[in-house]
Structure 1
């Protein structure tokens, strides 16, 4: 097994790519808010998967990039499972955020690294949860909780508890998908195939779930809403997810997932700059805790 797939510290290139992804995903939170103004949430997620699947397939055909022998390489079944997890995750998250506050929702959603670390510990022999990694994850997540502490104090509405639970479920499904990719035949599959499985399977499931959840089929012609949808489809569900699954196939799943706690930090900054949302007074301390926790997780083993 190549060293890049072992549970050692991430190289600078992988760290740089993960920081870039966290920034892109943080901006996605703003795009979802803008898109929701013109497109119902689950419908928006379904359209995003559909558009991204078409774009990915077209790009692969144009570049003459094949998906490999997907019919006989053992990836079909785990690929379908990953697509179902992907769809249910987004249903849980989009519905959950609508029932609770954004601050509460993002804290519970980004418990995903804990699910990845636990799942990888039991299912991936080379990615065990060491004491240093456990402490690092705890410190980093403590910083995340601190960053959103003021939001946690705010009232979340009558259905906030249900919304919190749905966001926890969304984070667990996100973590389960990551572990599935790492622990199954998908680990050896081409990243484009792994992504295509999730997009192609989730698109019809999400589009079917939208009317079942009572959403109207409404797409606003406003340029802002359409632009937000295109950003999510091409930039997030297309390019960024392909890069993410390539990283998962090469490096430690739990160490990569630990960086995901930075995404809501970038999201809060993007919200402050682009939407004028206020920052908490403890934000600087929270960032320091997150950075220190990630350093503990990625410190080279002695």
Structure 2
């Protein structure tokens, strides 16, 4: 995800990153009997990946960056990050990690990430550190809020609730990402990307919010049914 932000917009990254529930739902479908996908969820999978295809393969517009190749590379990295995140959920649910305390799981992930990212930064020559106030504030936020508090809470939730239902709570994040990218960063919202994003978000809603959607449809069906006297 960090590398993808060097090549594409924040709005693109947040949409492709939050395809993670789709990948986790697909993985858990084959590994956990209680999380089998229903027909409506398969429709969501189809819609979401159709949206990804539209965002990647649709005709370019005049508002898009002239370096289209770099943008597509960044989009690809963001999508791979989403897939990796989704597979992390599958591993946490289907291995011995599910029986460990959330603090242990978090520590394992942070230690491995530290080693891998340190090697990658040396390989890429990204070892320069410019200690400005903005950098320190960003580092503090990423370390305390993102890498510690939010992940600790997420791992705890995974041990107590179905992963497919938890994904519904992250549905608003892509919407905020696109809106804030346009507002704070002046990022253009390309028509093809917007269409693809709508397909992706609809698919995520059907997959992750299946229970809620099913209840809403049942309620509508009940209201539309014949009234008895």
- 8 Å Cα contact 2:20/2:82 also seen in 1: yes
In the other structure, the counterpart of 1:86 is none
- Between Structure 1 and Structure 2, how many residues are aligned? 208
In the other structure, the counterpart of 2:179 is 269
Q: CA deviation at 1:276?
A: 5.3
What does 1:1-302 correspond to in 2, within 5 Å? 93-136=1-44, 153=61, 154-155=64-65, 156-215=67-126, 217-272=127-182, 274-275=184-185, 286=198, 289=202, 293=206, 295-299=209-213
- 8 Å Cα contact 1:186/1:194 also seen in 2: yes
Which has the larger displacement, 287-296 or 129-138? 287-296
Q: CA deviation at 1:117?
A: 0.9
Structural RMSD (CA): 3.7
- 8 Å Cα contact 2:11/2:178 also seen in 1: no
Q: CA deviation at 1:254?
A: 2.3
Question: Structure 2: where are the runs of 5+ without partners?
Answer: 219-229
Aligned CA distance change for structure 1 residues 169 and 290 (closer, same or farther; 3 Å): closer
CA–CA distance in 2 between the matches of 1:108 and 1:244?
20
- 8 Å Cα contact 1:111/1:168 also seen in 2: yes
Question: Structure 1: where are the runs of 5+ without partners?
Answer: 1-92
In the other structure, the counterpart of 1:27 is none
Q: CA deviation at 1:107?
A: 3.2
Q: CA deviation at 1:174?
A: 0.7
- Larger of the two Rg values belongs to structure: 2
CA–CA distance in 1 between the matches of 2:130 and 2:87?
34
Using structure 1 for the length normalisation, give the TM-score. Answer: 0.56
Provide runs of 4+ in structure 1 moved above 6 Å.
140-148, 278-283
In the other structure, the counterpart of 1:19 is none
CA–CA distance in 1 between the matches of 2:170 and 2:105?
19
Q: Deviations over 1:156-213 (max 9, x none)?
A: 5333343333222211111111110011111121111111110112112211210101
Q: CA deviation at 1:298?
A: 3.3
Q: CA deviation at 1:255?
A: 2.6
Using structure 2 for the length normalisation, give the TM-score. Answer: 0.72
CA–CA distance in 2 between the matches of 1:211 and 1:225?
19
CA–CA distance in 2 between the matches of 1:280 and 1:200?
39
CA–CA distance in 1 between the matches of 2:205 and 2:186?
28
